[in-house]
A and B are shown apart, each in its own frame.
Chain A
Amino acid sequence: MLKLKSKSQDALLFYILRLISILVIGLLLLIIYILFKSALPSIVRNGLSFILKSDWNPVEEQFGALPFIFGTLVTSVIALVLATPISIFIALFMCEYLPKSISRIVSLLVEMVAAIPSIVFGLWGIFYLAPFVKETLAPLLKNYFGYLPFFQGPSFGIGILTASLILAIMIVPTISSISRSIFELIPQHQKEAAYAMGSTKYEMVKLAIITPSISGISSAVVLGLGRALGETMAVTMLIGNSPSITKSIFAPAATMASVMANEYTDANTPMHIASLCYIALLLFIITFLSNLIAKTIVKKLSKT
């Protein structure tokens, strides 16, 4: 009797645990469903060409997401190009060049960057990074690379470059902490083998650490990309929010996340709201896919 009772109690607990777990999975599905449902009017009207149209004019009910997709991709890619080498280097610095006790402190400091709220990055960006870009960095770049179309035009401080810089600072912790955990998986004897061949430290790092970790590093980069794509506040405060496609990286632009943050509360026509939800859905899908890709790479790695 007693045994039977405890068995049914066990079963009850399992049901509760399982039910709540299913609820959480359901929540993710609900998010997808609700976004899709709210975006439906715009999906029906604009179809997939929404992605390719470049007019965004809520007053005339013209909705095309290309300027925002452009802004999101350009800022994220510049941020990745800047952040990836630096993140890998700092991960190597922590793993190979520092004694363990100091390495812990450095890693704590890097993780602290990740803990700073994005609104603080934005605030700092407005009052310090933007003037720095306007007065120092932009003239410098124009001076040396002014013949390239990307570095032409006036700089107002806020714009693609400033937003990309702040994004780069923000995604370094993501990429470096994952790269570091991958470098730590490298067996000691592999490094020793490289030394035994007479390698210098640089050659050892290249041969025994970087080369076998390439796929792991790429998953770290994709995860960093996911973070950069969805970052909202700091970018909104620094990109200038003008839905235009320009060659110059000094010019203001807008991203998918920033247009939502700026226009959602002011949107009053149903089609405007639906189009913003469409953008939200697209952003969701892009980040979803990039995270999924990164996870699959990691999964494959842990199997081998």
Chain B
Amino acid sequence: MNYRTIRNIKNQFFMMTVIMSAVLVLLPLFLIIKFVFTQGMSSLNFSFFTEIPKPVGESGGGMKHAIFGTMYVVFLGALLAVPIGITCGVYLSEFRKSKLSKTLKLTIDLMSGIPSIVIGIFAYLVVVIPMKSFSALAGGVALSIIMLPIIIKTSEEILKLVPDHLREAGLALGLPRWKVILFIIVKGNLSNLLTGIILAISRASGETAPLLFTAFGNMYMSYEFNKPMATLPVQIYTYAISPFKDWQRQAWAGAFVLMILILSMNLFARYVFLKIKDKKGN
């Protein structure tokens, strides 16, 4: 065997390794999707969406309260995070070189790296302890801290793609800078900014750890922001570690609904982002 064949064999071997690793990465994805879909589909029924849990021992019941709770808590979180996030995104895209911009960028990089359980403890300390009760509001605060860096980053990226000549055109017409920012840059990109928000919402809807000791969870329908509230991920967690077969079945159904919800939001947002970038790139 001469030197050349050894090199060729090495080359072939490397290609095999690369392909194998791609299979290894995608295999768990397919397994998870397959199991969640088959288990979830067979466990899902109409009452899952229309009923609240039955007492232990009785079969049936659903997760209406948790589906509503997830929407409620995520909405509260978005209410806090969206205005602040977009404002910061505007600041970052319009004042790129200021010192504050650089500090803010570092801040959100570090903030997005905070473990979500630590954010949960923070929200517990600042909201639950003063209010003396677990509450949907505390869950909303925790989720808003998770959403904030995502919204800031995506809105900055989107607004940065606005070509400078649009800004200059506005200024050349004699518009003050605040009008250029509000009515040309922000208003002209509202729908694109919305995709950033959807991305943040899709991330927040799947979070469990920050809600464990903030929104906490319950077993009935609740509409009050200052009381504990069930959410889909926490409910799945409670059911998954329970010994009851019927509850485990419901956990699969819940995971199925959650996956559909999150993956569709996520894919939609990514698709729109790709389109924006393609359009602006050409």
- Residues of the A chain whose Cβ atoms lie less than 8 Å from the Cβ of B17: 89
Q: How far is the CB of B176 from chain A (nearest CB, A)?
A: 3
Q: A27: which B residues are within 8 A, CB to CB?
A: 111, 145, 148
B82 to chain A, nearest CB (A): 12
Return chain A residues, CB-CB under 8 Å to B263: 112, 115-116
Contacts A230-B117, A280-B118; is A92 near B240 (CB within 8 Å)?
A: no
Residues in A neighbouring B173, C-beta threshold 8 A: none
Residues of chain B within 8 A (CB-CB) of A109 are: 26, 29
Do most interface residues of chain B lie in helix, strand or loop, or is the interface mixed? helix
User: Are B87 and A201 interface neighbours, CB within 8 A?
Assistant: no
CB–CB A86/B25 < 8 A: yes
List chain B positions with a Cβ less than 8 A from chain A.
7-8, 10-11, 13-15, 17-19, 21-22, 24-26, 28-29, 31-32, 35-36, 39, 84, 87-88, 90-92, 94-95, 100-101, 103-104, 106-111, 113-119, 121-122, 124-126, 145, 148, 152, 176-179, 181-182, 202-203, 205-209, 212-213, 216, 233, 236-237, 240-241, 248, 251-252, 255, 258-259, 262-263, 266-267, 270
* Chain B residue with the shortest CB-CB distance to A276: B121
Q: A27-B145, A277-B121 are in contact. Are A115 and B266 (CB under 8 A)?
A: yes
Decide: B117 and A237 in contact? CB cutoff 8 A.
no
- A residues neighboring B (CB under 8 Å): 6-7, 9-10, 12-13, 16-18, 20-25, 27-28, 30-31, 34-35, 38, 85-87, 89-90, 92-93, 97, 106, 108-113, 115-124, 126-128, 169, 172, 176, 200-203, 205, 223, 226-227, 229-233, 237, 257, 260-261, 264-265, 276-277, 280, 283-284, 287-288, 290-292, 295
| A123 near B22: Cβ-Cβ < 8 Å | no
* 18 further contact pairs, Cβ within 8 A, besides A120-B206, A203-B7: A10-B178, A21-B101, A23-B84, A24-B107, A27-B145, A28-B107, A30-B126, A31-B145, A38-B125, A90-B21, A112-B267, A119-B236, A120-B236, A124-B32, A127-B248, A169-B28, A291-B109, A292-B110
A200-B10, A203-B7, A295-B106 known; A123 and B252 CB under 8 Å? yes
Tally A-B pairs: CB < 8 A: 245
A292 partner residues in chain B, CB cutoff 8 A: 110
19 A-B residue pairs with CB within 8 Å = A17-B87, A24-B84, A25-B103, A31-B114, A86-B25, A89-B17, A93-B18, A117-B259, A118-B209, A119-B236, A120-B255, A124-B36, A126-B241, A128-B31, A230-B116, A237-B241, A284-B114, A284-B115, A288-B114
